[in-house]
Each structure stands twice: as C-alpha cells, then as structure tokens.
Chain A
Amino acid sequence: MNEILTAVIPVVIIGVICAVVLVVASKFMAVKENEKIPKIRECLPGANCGACGFAGCDGYAKALAEVEGTATNLCIPGADAVSQKISEILGVEFEDVIEKVAVVGCAGDCNFTQDKVEYSGIESCAAAKLIFGSKGECSYGCMGLGDCMKVCPNNAICIENGIAHINTRLCVGCGLCTKACPNHLISLIDDVEKVLVTCSNKDKGAMTRKVCKNGCIGCKKCEKVCSTGAIKVVDNLAVIDYSKCPECDDFGVCARECTTGCIVISDFSGIHRVKEQK
C-alpha cells in the first residue's frame, strides 16, 4: 500500500502543480479577442475563397472587426444576405454587394478548332501550357484539361466538347478559377451583363481565322455598330466596356452583327440573382 502511495502522491502533486500553473497562466495571459470576430466569422460562408481580398474568412472577419472602414460588401459568394448581417453586427450602413459571375473568354470547342498535338501528359492545363504553349491550334484558347474545374468549390464548371463551360446559375463569383487558368481566359463580370466576347485570340485576323472558326478577327464591325462606343478592338480583339452598356438603345446589336459569332448574348445571372427571382 505504501509503495502505491509513494508513487501516486508525487504524480498527483506534479499534475496539480502543472494544472495550477496552466490555470494561472491562462488567466493572466489571456488574449482579449474582439468578441465581434467569431460573430462575424459565423455569418461568412467559410469557403476561404479569398474573393474579398483577405486571407480567408478568418482574415476578413478580423479586418472587419478591427480595422475601421473595412467595406462590408466584399464577400461576393455570401452576397447581400451576408453583407446585411455584417452591417447589423458592426452597426454600419448596409452596402449592396455587386454579385459577380465567372465567364470563359473562349468558345473554340471541337466544332470550331482542333488539337495541334496529341497530348497525353499530366491532366492539367498548366502542364500542357508548358509544352509548345498550348495543346490546341490556338495558343490563346481553352485547353479543356480542367484546372478551373478542379478549383471550383461549387462544381459550376464542366468540360464539354474540349472547353470549359461555366454554369452561371451555380457560380458564386469567388474568382478562384480566374487564377487557375494559365491562359487567363476566365474573368468575373457583374451578373447583370448580357453580352460577352467569347474569344481571347490577339493574333491578326487571318491567323485567328486559320486556327479557329469562332475567333475574333478584329474586323471592327462591332465597333461601328455600337452606338455608345462601348466596344473597342484592342490588339485585334474586341473588348467590351460594360460601364457604357446600360446606355445602349439597341441592345445586342454587337452580337447580331458579329461576323464570326464570337460575341454572344446570354443570361449570365448568377446563383444570387436566381435565388432572388424565386
């Protein structure tokens, strides 16, 4: 019995000392965390997509709580609902979130263009890009190996006919795919826009025509028919300045007049707007 006691007592004493030290330490050295942080963090979606420009949802919550004047409408996946909640917690005025959707600036699927090489390397656009610039005829176009598909948190991207398609109804606008694409084909647009240039080829018209029937040949027809001057051909490629589109009185004329059909009209309403409509 005595032997057991001589063993138990020292261990208990050491344990108690450790416990006391820890309790005292945690009391005296407690770090005061801003109590708003966990509250705000709870409102955020938790996808850690980085669309707000901070290091994940935790970083954004911290900045909101501690840095005066951080905008509450930066969380694009969370949209208005999240902005509303954060504004309530912080006691500031509600700011509307401009919802975004990702769109692919290439429609050169297998009906319009073909592969230059028979690629059998690693299934990754970034890897294919390293070999001769591209696996397809067009070195600006989508290679369809799905780097964007892999990073999409919402499974909104699929590869069909050799190029990426984004289901804008599912897209939350986090922008992860824009960073994943080695050809920088994917961009975020406000989800109220309706026209889109589906080509990113900057080569001269004849070169573009040779590699892809869908490509923008830089004919400037759209520039001429556009009444507001929103479309400009830069580097043999039509670029739309969406800020001028609302003034347009003949909406969609650019798409109708496009010689190769690379400007398209479509409904790019994102997941947030779809929810609102319901």
Chain B
Amino acid sequence: MTNFIIIMLSAVFINNYVLSRFLGICPFLGVSKKLNQAAGMSVAVIFVMLMATAVTWPIQTFLLDPNNLGYLQTIVFILVIAALVQLVEIVLKRYIPSLHKSLGVYLPLITTNCAVLGVTILNIDEGYTFAESMVNSFGSGLGFFLAMVMFSGVRSRLEGADIPKAFQGLPVTLVAASITSLSFLGFSGVIENLFA
C-alpha cells in the first residue's frame, strides 16, 4: 500500500508531468487561459491516460517483450493511443453525449499529447506492475490537473497586472510558467524521507 502512495504522490508532486518533466507543455500554455477549460482538458487527460495505460501495458508485456520487439514500443503505442481515443470518442458520442459535449475538442487533441505517450512509456521503463502503472497514470493525470488549474489561476492574475509592453502576452506567460515550475522543485526529496 505504501508503495502505491509513494508512486501516486511522486507522480503528482515530484515528477509532475508538466512542471518537472516538461511533457504536455502545449495544452499547459494553450488551454490554461480559463479555469473551466483548463479543468475540462485535464479531466479528459486523466481519462485518456488511464485508458491508454490499461491497453498499452498488456501490449508491451504480452506482445512486444516476448517477441523481442521492444524497439517498436513508440510507434505501436502512438498507433494504439490514437485508435483508442477515436474509439472512446465514438462510444461517448453514442452513449454519454453530455460528457462528449463537455470534453468537446479536447478529446481528439489529446491524441497527440506527449504526456499521454510519456506516461505509458515511463510505466514500462520504470518496470511497474499493471496496478502500479494504473496508479502512476492516475497520479500523473492528477498532477497535470493540478498544474493546469494552478496555472490558470496565475494567468488570470496576469490579465489584470501592469506588464511592460515587451513582456505582454506569451513572454510573461513563459516567465510565470518557469517560476511555477521552479516552485515545484521544492518537492524533490520530500517523498523519499516521508516514509523512511
């Protein structure tokens, strides 16, 4: 149990996908302008990360590894994730139209989100079991959620701030992003000692 908690916490805070591993930066800067959009995108990411891990982990373990095809990992994962997201979209549209509507354009956008590919590949690299992989994916998704929501708050503050002309728009957003990311460095080393 402690193992799961450690994986979870480290995925959310220490190895936060956006702020420490710098994966999935595109939606982090692109969709973080409004809180509800940021939250919608993040929920979709959590959902897809869990689904993708549930599919790619068995493929890696039972198909690629026994046949010595580990080097096909990246291309197979991309293929499977893309197909999976499409399938999820079709199913949602048919059975849960309200959820489909609220996820909106974010669902197809996630197909090309490197955080999703990153979490599936890192699950394999870390040698996690299936259960551990799922926990890690959920934690990573939560970390993404945390980063998005936090940063949308930062950006709403930036809107009203008096910013020098040269820094307006993207430059100040990037500066703010780097400082937010820097603050997450403070978590490093916390988990190892938490359960020691």
A interface residues (Cβ-Cβ under 8 A, vs B): 6-7, 10-11, 14-15, 18-19, 21-22, 25-26, 29-31
Which stretch of B12-20, B72-80, B108-116 is in the interface? B72-80
The docked-state distance in angstroms from the alpha carbon of A14 to that of B60 is: 12
B63's nearest neighbour on chain A, judged by CB, is A10
The answer to the question of B87 belonging to the interface, with a C-beta cut-off of 8 Å to chain A, is yes
Given A7-B72, A11-B75, A14-B76, A22–B94 Cβ distance below 8 Å?
A: no
Within 8 Å by CB of B69, from A10, A25, A31, lies A10
Given contacts A6-B67, A10-B63, A10-B72, contact A22 B90 (CB under 8 A): yes
Contact B87 A25 (CB under 8 A): yes
Taken together as a complex, chains A and B put the C-alpha atoms of A11 and B87 apart, in Å, by 19
Q: Check A21–B67 contact: CB distance below 8 A.
A: no
Chain B residues with CB under 8 Å of chain A are 59, 63-64, 67, 69, 71-72, 75-76, 79-80, 82-83, 86-87, 90-91, 93-95, 97
Chain A residue at minimal CB-CB distance from B84: A18
Chain B residues with CB below 8 A from A19, complex form: 83
| Chain B facing A: main interface SS | helix
Q: Complex: how many Å from CA A266 to CA B95?
A: 56
B94 contact set on A, CB distance < 8 A: 29-31
CA distance A30 to B94 in the complex (A): 7
Shortest C-beta distance, B96 to chain A (Å), equals 12
- A7 contact set on B, CB distance < 8 A: 69, 71-72
Are A18 and B79 neighbours in the complex by a CB distance under 8 Å?
Answer: yes
Residue contact B69 to A18, C-beta cutoff 8 Å: no
A6 touches B76 (CB 8 A): no
A-B pairs, 7 with minimum CB distance: A18-B83, A29-B94, A25-B90, A29-B90, A31-B93, A26-B90, A25-B87
Closest A-chain residue to B100, C-beta based? A31
Given A6-B67, A7-B71, 7 more A-B residue pairs with CB atoms under 8 Å apart are: A10-B63, A10-B64, A11-B75, A22-B83, A22-B86, A29-B93, A29-B94
**A18 partner residues in chain B, CB cutoff 8 A:** 79-80, 82-83
Cα–Cα distance between A54 and B121 once the two chains are bound (Å): 45
Residues of A contacting B95 with CB < 8 Å?
Answer: 29
A6 in contact with B79 (CB, 8 Å): no
Report 20 cross-chain contacts, Cβ distance below 8 Å, ordered by A residue: A6-B69, A7-B69, A7-B71, A10-B63, A10-B67, A10-B69, A10-B76, A11-B72, A11-B75, A14-B76, A19-B83, A21-B83, A21-B87, A22-B83, A22-B87, A25-B90, A26-B90, A29-B94, A31-B93, A31-B97
CA distance A104 to B93 in the complex (A): 45
| Nearest CB in chain B: distance from A76 CB, A | 26
Q: How far is the CA of A206 from the CA of B143 in the complex (A)?
A: 62
Q: Is the CB of B76 within 8 A of A11?
A: yes
Give the complex CA separation of A31 and B93 in angstroms.
7
Contacts of A21 in B (CB 8 A): 83, 87
Instruction: Determine the distance from Cα of A17 to Cα of B189 in the docked complex, in whole angstroms.
Output: 44
Q: Which residues from chain A contact B67 at a C-beta distance below 8 Å?
A: 6, 10
Name which residue of chain A comes closest to B94, CB basis. Answer: A29
Closest Cβ of chain B to A94, distance in Å, is 32
When distances are taken between beta carbons in the complex, the residues of chain A under 8 Å from B69 are 6-7, 10
Chain B residues with CB below 8 A from A25, complex form: 87, 90-91
Set of chain A residues within 8 Å of B90, measured between Cβ atoms: 22, 25-26, 29
Q: Report the Cα distance A22→B87, complex, angstroms.
A: 6
Closest to B82 in A: A18
What CA separation (Å) do A30 and B90 show in the bound complex? 8
B39 to chain A, nearest CB (A): 20
Taken together as a complex, chains A and B put the C-alpha atoms of A193 and B106 apart, in Å, by 47
Known: A6-B67, A6-B69, A21-B87. A14 touches B80 (CB 8 A): yes
Smallest CB separation, A12 vs chain B (Å): 10
Chain A nearest CB: distance from B28 CB in Å?
27
Tell me the smallest distance from the CB of A11 to a CB of chain B, in Å.
Answer: 6
Residues of A within 8 A of B87 (CB): 21-22, 25
